[in-house]
């Protein structure tokens, strides 16, 4: 069953809670594209060259590009199966990125939404990606929202997954995950099983633990496992990941289409946040999926169908 697009009134207007519906639905400096603008005092941020994986259905996907951005502690590997599905179904190439300090992308001491947005903007320019759909989960969701508000010309539409354009505390799980990863790193485990035992007190859900420990690698044969991500940098940046760089929707809006997907068992996009989403993104549509914060991994089929229907609507109009 499809849900209707949700139009949310300004904050001063009476607010009606929407019904929950299921819409089965290399560290080289890179020049910035000409349309970029700086957030506040962001001119000192160094742009890094992002690693990516292209999903193009063996060269048969030649439509407008889709760019996917993972969440905190994730990587491009998290979006491999859905990237393949979008390329096959929509015949659009999908670029799954590693953000700075994640996956195979360079590390940098700055990790905030200014830096993340600039990196992806530079990636779009470097690869001449126009009329793109930007999809992001959690940290990636705030990144694509910031890019859209920063300059709407950078994309055709956005799909933020389980995050909102507000300053809001991260789930207490994330500091625990960071603490656990630091514990694992200091303990220098020799095997994945040992690392799993060390991590279990900090992340008792096995799929989450496997997700976090997927960042481990063995730099030297016979040596201890280490995290390929700079855990100390990301731990120090947790407060910045809770922030959002735009605060005044009367000054900045994205008037193109936006599909917000949230997990009904997650607290990251509450009903009380919908009015501010509507002010920043007046054409936004809302889809609820019966799951927690990890929408893509928990309900991949429903997520894929939601995105496909949204993007196919665009092609039909």
Query: Where are the domains positioned within the chain?
Result: 52-167+250-316, 173-236
List CB contacts of 80: < 8 A, sequence separation 6 or more.
53, 55, 96
Burial of 81 (0-12, 13-18, 19+ CB in 10 A): middle
- Least confidently predicted of 5-19, 108-122, 289-303: 5-19
Q: Is 293 a catalytic residue?
A: yes
pLDDT band at 169 (very low <50, low <70, confident <90, very high): confident
Tell me: the pLDDT tens digits for 261-275? Answer: 999 999 999 999 999
| Predicted structure pTM score | 0.86
Residue 314's pLDDT is 63
pLDDT at 44: 76
Write down the catalytic residue from 266, 293, 297, 306. Answer: 293
CA–CA distance, 156 with 138 (Å, rounded to integer): 20
pLDDT tens digits along 103-152: 999 999 999 999 999 999 999 999 999 999 999 999 999 999 999 999 99
Upper half-sphere CA count for residue 233 (Cβ side, 13 Å) = 16
- The Cα–Cα gap between 100 and 46 comes to 11
Proportion of the chain in helix, strand, coil states, percent, rounded to 5? 35, 10, 50
Give how far Cα 56 sits from Cα of 45, 70, 197, Å.
32, 19, 38
* Mean pLDDT of all residues in 228-248: 95
Q: Is the dihedral of CA 27, 124, 104, 146 positive or negative?
A: positive
User: Helix H segments across the chain?
Assistant: 80-90, 113-126, 139-150, 173-187, 192-199, 206-213, 231-236, 238-242, 274-280, 295-298, 300-316
Q: How confident is the model at residue 43 (pLDDT cuts 50, 70, 90)?
A: low
Three-class secondary structure assignment of 277-314: HHHHCCCEEEEEECCCCCHHHHCHHHHHHHHHHHHHHH
Phi then psi for residue 138, to 5 deg, are 60, -110
CATH of 52-167+250-316, one of 3.90.1200.10, 1.20.120.420, 3.30.565.10, 3.40.50.1820: 3.40.50.1820
Which residue of the set 3, 75, 105, 138 is catalytic?
Answer: 138
The highest-confidence range among 11-20, 37-46, 48-57, by mean pLDDT, is 48-57
**Cα separation of 115 and 47, whole Å?**
7
At 226 the three-state DSSP class reads strand
Q: Which residues pair with 244 in a beta bridge?
A: none
Average pLDDT of the residues in 69-82: 96
């Amino acid at each position: 069953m499809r849900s209707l697009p949700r139009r949310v009134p300004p904050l001063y207007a009476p607010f009606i809670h929407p019904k929950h519906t299921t819409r089965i639905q290399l560290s080289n400096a890179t020049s910035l594209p000409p349309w970029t603008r700086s957030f506040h005092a962001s001119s000192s941020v160094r742009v890094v060259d992002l690693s990516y994986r292209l999903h193009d259905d063996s060269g048969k996907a030649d439509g407008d590009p889709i760019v996917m951005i993972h969440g905190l502690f994730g990587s491009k590997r998290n979006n491999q199966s859905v990237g393949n599905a979008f390329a096959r179904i929509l015949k659009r190439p999908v670029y799954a990125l590693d953000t700075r300090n994640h996956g195979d992308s360079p590390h940098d001491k700055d990790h905030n939404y200014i830096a993340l947005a600039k990196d992806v903007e530079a990636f779009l320019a470097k690869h001449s990606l126009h009329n793109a759909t930007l999809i992001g989960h959690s940290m990636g969701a705030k990144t694509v929202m910031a890019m859209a508000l920063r300059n709407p010309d950078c994309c055709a539409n956005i799909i933020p997954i389980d995050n909102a354009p507000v300053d809001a505390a991260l789930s207490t799980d994330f500091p625990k995950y960071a603490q656990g990863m630091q514990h694992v790193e200091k303990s220098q485990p020799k095997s994945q099983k040992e690392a799993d035992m060390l991590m279990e007190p900090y992340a008792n859900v096995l799929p989450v633990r496997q997700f976090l420990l997927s960042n481990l690698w063995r730099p030297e044969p016979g040596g201890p496992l280490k995290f390929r991500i700079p855990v100390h940098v990301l731990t120090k940046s947790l407060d910045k990941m809770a922030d959002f760089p735009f605060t005044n929707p009367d000054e900045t809006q994205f008037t193109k289409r936006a599909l917000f997907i949230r997990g009904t068992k997650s607290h990251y996009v509450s009903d009380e946040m919908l009015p501010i989403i509507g002010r920043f993104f007046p054409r936004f549509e809302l889809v609820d999926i019966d799951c927690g914060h990890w929408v893509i991994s928990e309900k991949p089929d429903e997520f894929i169908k939601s995105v496909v229907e949204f993007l196919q609507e665009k092609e039909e109009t």
